[in-house]
Amino acid sequence: MSTPPLKKLTEPLTLFLIGVTGDLAKKKILKAIYKLHEKQLLASPFTLIGNARSPLSREEFQAYVKEIVRPSDDGTWTSFAKSLQYVAGNAADEATFAKIKALHQKLQKQRTCGNHMWYIATLPQLYLPIIQNLKQCQLHNSSCGWTKLLIEKPFGTDLASAQKLNQELSEAFSEDQIYRIDHFLGKETVQNLVAFRFANGMFEELWSNKHIDHVQVTHSESLGVAGREQFYDATGATRDVVQNHLLQMIAVCLMEEPASLNPDDIRKSRSALLKSLTGLSGKNMADHVRFGQFTAGVIDGQKVPGYLEHEGIPAESNTETAVALKLGIDSPRWAGVPIYVRTGKRLARDVLELSVQFKDKPNRMFSSIKYGPDPNILTFRFQPNEGIVLRLFVKKPGHGIELDMVPMEFCYRNTYQMDFIEAYERLIHDASNSDATLFPGHESIESSWRIIDDVLDYQRRVKPDPYPAGSWGPESFTKLIEQDGREWIEPSIDVCSV
């Protein structure tokens, strides 16, 4: 199977990046845009109008971007630098958008009519004023070329605010103009889940409660919250990564087969899966959710301070820096299959993986031989050491019959000697080419909040359990899964360590 090669837009494009000096623009967005420029995949002519509060001249802005993208080739950089423009001003003020509009109109005069992509990458508190300003200044559509809006998560802080945000968005933009970014959906390895499941019929047959005991997701980060204290303390691990990234990833793994490769069909399947997540309201929450907060510890041999010791974090903060959950799905295919999720900052290692544990069939020929507790497990390692691993039993060579657990691995780096396309690069390119496959729609976002609202309500009522930085989280995370007679699968360092 092959897809057409990546397309380059033939009409001019202006990308308005609001929040251009923010953490995300610095770490991901600007680098991704520059990569697309290097690969000649940006529209031509291309203009980037950055906005932030800092009073930078155009030359200072160019120098700022250069420092971030660290170009390796002068010619490529010079042509990119020419496309950079900057407007200083508070994005909450309408006057800032009037200035952006004036600059854009001035630049337009020198060019033919083109397309417009607004990219909101600011603190979430600014989303509503920005949308209103776009509308007030008549920047939400254009008589000349298309206008799209790219908007970063978090989409709201709970169901009510997400609904309000969606309402405001829909008053200014039609749904097909809106591209909500969840960069986990843009990860190459997450996309491979779809290919793995639906291109290999034999696995699809096994994908149900008939054969699967449970699913578990581990998203552990050794990184702390330095530099993002204000955002993180108001957000917490549940809102930061579970409501969006991890639930979307679970949806890709467990959704019903889409009717076609068409973006609408794929989005519909993901959304339907999220809609069928079992609500937690009325449940004994301690059986389903545990929170953690890191204390001082050691990461990679270095002592690191506890969460509450960070400047900018209130001494009595209850914010969870880690969370473990047990979820379920109300569908004939998945009834009775628990989904365990754990994530957190300052955990033992950087890993993102999803494991499917198959049921162990009783009374088999080998039941009498002690071969250990682990039945077959299929692991999708999304990062690092990307690959897919199936753990199998084999007979250990020798006179007797002794079983050994061995991995059967597909490792990207062994098979493909090429770099992955970075998620942001992929998503910005897809959005500019009007491919919405990897962008969640408003329904799927509201479905996730329905579950997460109950989790957050519980979070407000309990204290997080402390865990030392560098561990796998608090004891309570272990108990959450052990109460069901299961255990967390410790991500193996050996997976695809090629």
Q: Which parts of this chain interact with ligand BG6 (CB under 6 A)?
A: 183, 221, 240-241
Task: State the nearest-atom distance from the C-beta of 201 to ligand BG6, in Å.
Answer: 31
Task: State the nearest-atom distance from the C-beta of 90 to ligand BG6, in Å.
Answer: 23
245 is catalytic: yes
Task: List, in sequence order, every residue forming a beta bridge with 379; answer none if it has no partner.
Answer: 355, 389
Residue 254, CB-side half-sphere exposure with 13 Å CA sphere: 35
When the beta carbons of 84 and 251 are compared against ligand BG6, the nearer one is: 251
When the beta carbons of 103 and 185 are compared against ligand BG6, the nearer one is: 185
Q: Which amino acid is at 299?
A: I
When the beta carbons of 268 and 346 are compared against ligand BG6, the nearer one is: 346
Task: State the nearest-atom distance from the C-beta of 247 to ligand BG6, in Å.
Answer: 13
Residues 396 and 412: their CA atoms lie apart, in Å, by 28
Task: State the nearest-atom distance from the C-beta of 123 to ligand BG6, in Å.
Answer: 12
Task: State the nearest-atom distance from the C-beta of 183 to ligand BG6, in Å.
Answer: 6
C-alpha distances (whole Å) from 449 to each of 203, 238, 277, 287 are 30, 10, 11, 20
Rg (C-alpha) for the chain, rounded Å, is 24
Tokens for 303?
């002592």
Mode of pairing for the β-strands spanning 115-120 and 13-18? parallel
Residues 231 and 313: their CA atoms lie apart, in Å, by 10
Task: State the nearest-atom distance from the C-beta of 157 to ligand BG6, in Å.
Answer: 14
Residues 460 and 464: their CA atoms lie apart, in Å, by 10
Indicate which residue of 37, 245, 288, 442 is catalytic. 245
Q: Which residue is nearest to ligand BG6 (CB)?
A: 240
Contacts by 228-236, CB closer than 8 A, 24 or more apart: 228/23, 229/310, 229/311, 229/312, 229/313, 230/312, 231/123, 232/319, 232/321, 232/345, 233/312, 233/313, 233/314, 233/317, 233/319, 234/319, 235/154, 235/157, 235/319, 236/319, 236/320, 236/321, 236/323, 236/459
When the beta carbons of 31 and 183 are compared against ligand BG6, the nearer one is: 183
When the beta carbons of 240 and 430 are compared against ligand BG6, the nearer one is: 240
Instruction: Answer yes or no: are the C-beta atoms of 66 and 103 closer than 8 Å.
Output: no
Task: State the nearest-atom distance from the C-beta of 27 to ligand BG6, in Å.
Answer: 8
When the beta carbons of 203 and 420 are compared against ligand BG6, the nearer one is: 420
The three-state (H, E, C) secondary structure of 345-408, written as one string: CCECCCEEEEEEEECCCCCCCCCCCCCCCCCCEEEEEEECCCEEEEEEEEECCCCCCCEEEEEE
When the beta carbons of 240 and 446 are compared against ligand BG6, the nearer one is: 240
Q: Which residues are catalytic?
A: 245
